[in-house]
Amino acid sequence: MTLSHDFEAALRAKIDGKTKPLGALGRIEALAAQIARVQGSLTPRMERGRLILFAADHGMAAEGVSAYPAEVTRQMVLNFLAGGAAANVFARQAGLPVAVVDCGVAGPPIGDPRLIARRIGPGTANARHGPAMTPAQCQAALDLGRELAQEGGFEALCLGEMGIGNTSAAALLAAKITGAPVAGFIGRGTGLDAEGLARKRAILEAAAARTAPRLSPAEALAEYGGFEIAAMAGAMLGAGPARRLVLVDGFIAGAAALVAVTLQPGLRENLVFAHRSAEQGHAALLAALGAEPLLDLGLRLGEGSGALLAWPLLRAAAAMLNEMASFESAAVSGPA
């Protein structure tokens, strides 16, 4: 959205007029300004958030690109529904509801009323040998994310994912959209040893060689993405018209963000990059996005865990803008 010069001047004056030296609250000031711009208000709200956790399987997992078997995706979905994962714990601490979405977990449908069952297919095809999904499936996943991002009265969304093999999909997406070699985005994922990492690198190099060095985001997503990654990208695209911020989690959510902002560059203002993952390649992905994350905690879990840990910073930034006294209101002398 385009804001007037008068709005920007009033926003700057409001932040600079708080009882503090100019710029003393650092990134919190920039975050407060971002929230105000997205909502188009000098008194923005940041009280209601939601974690949407998208789960899907990847055909490439059959190649042995993960230290864990593909069945773990389904097992972790059940764990999310039972409230036992790190994302559940952090969401409870933050007071945020959790929506678990089956975009395409392999095997029979999971019959649980707590699950949002929106299966696009029983996992993607093996992207080493051909496209991961059809264009129609890719569009369906994007549309699913857009729809869910616009539900409810939330000011911000935390987006998480679960899908064995999805660091491979994220690495290939990052490489094909940026045009950089895939090797720079390949990491240990769920904890591969040296032999496993070498195997993963060889498989991803072979998968990358199937297509041109650089693809459009839509082409890259269909060739190499996952249903959960496409749904996250769609959710980011849906957050823009709803004037919602998105807390972007780690490497896989970052790949979804790269898709989204390449499709719609104006969306960048809605994205807050929560943390720098310990996953090899995330730093390169953040650099491609021109993003400086809020936290650096050595996380490499996914699930939206880092996004949830950054949620209190959004609340604090909005509260600063709305509740902190000005020099005038507090009768405090300003700088000489």
DSSP 283-322: HHHHHHHT---SB-------TTHHHHHHHHHHHHHHHHHH
C-beta separation of 156 from 243 below 8 A: no
Distance, CA of 24 to CA of 150 (rounded, Å): 35
- Catalytic site residue from 63, 223, 228, 303: 303
Residues 287, 52, 314, CA angle at the centre, nearest 5°? 60
**165, 168, 172, 174 alpha-carbon torsion, rounded to 10°:** 100
List, in order, residues 6 or more apart from 287 with CB less than 8 Å away. Answer: none
Taking the whole predicted model, whether its pTM rises above 0.75 is answered as yes
How many Cα atoms sit within 13 Å of 186 on the Cβ side? Answer: 21
pLDDT value at position 137?
98
What b/e readout covers 144-178, taking b as 16+ CB neighbours within 10 angstroms?
Answer: bbbebbbeeebbbbbbbbbbbbbbbbbbbbbbbbb
What are the angstrom distances between the C-alpha of 269 and each of 62, 134, 289?
Answer: 38, 30, 12
The separation between the first and the last C-alpha atoms of the chain, rounded to the nearest angstrom, is: 37
How many Cα atoms sit within 13 Å of 35 on the Cβ side? Answer: 28
Q: Name 101's bridge partners.
A: 54, 116
Tell me the domain boundaries of the chain.
Answer: 5-45+319-330, 49-313
What b/e readout covers 239-267, taking b as 16+ CB neighbours within 10 angstroms?
Answer: bbebebbbbbbbbbbbbbbbbbbbbeeeb
pLDDT value at position 1?
58
The answer to whether domain 5-45+319-330 has CATH 3.40.50.720 is no
Distance, CA of 223 to CA of 150 (rounded, Å): 27
Within this chain, domains 5-45+319-330 and 49-313 share the same CATH topology: no
Distance, CA of 239 to CA of 124 (rounded, Å): 25
- The residue ranges of the chain whose pLDDT is under 50 are none
Residue 168's region, left for phi above 0, alpha for psi from -120 to 50, else beta, is alpha
The residue type at 304 = G
What b/e readout covers 129-141, taking b as 16+ CB neighbours within 10 angstroms?
Answer: eebbbeeebbbbb
Measured over the CA atoms of residue 75, residue 77, residue 83 and residue 88, the dihedral's sign is: positive
Q: Name 99's bridge partners.
A: 52
Q: Is residue 303 flagged as an active site residue?
A: yes
Residue whose pair of structure tokens reads 């804001």 in the numeric block: 3
The phi and psi torsions of 56 (rounded to 5 degrees) equal -165, 155
The domain defined by 49-313 folds into Rossmann fold (3.40.50)
Distance, CA of 81 to CA of 149 (rounded, Å): 20
Distance, CA of 42 to CA of 318 (rounded, Å): 10
pLDDT value at position 2?
67
Measured over the CA atoms of residue 262, residue 232, residue 304 and residue 132, the dihedral's sign is: negative
Residue whose C-alpha is closest to residue 142's, from 260, 1, 248, 279: 260
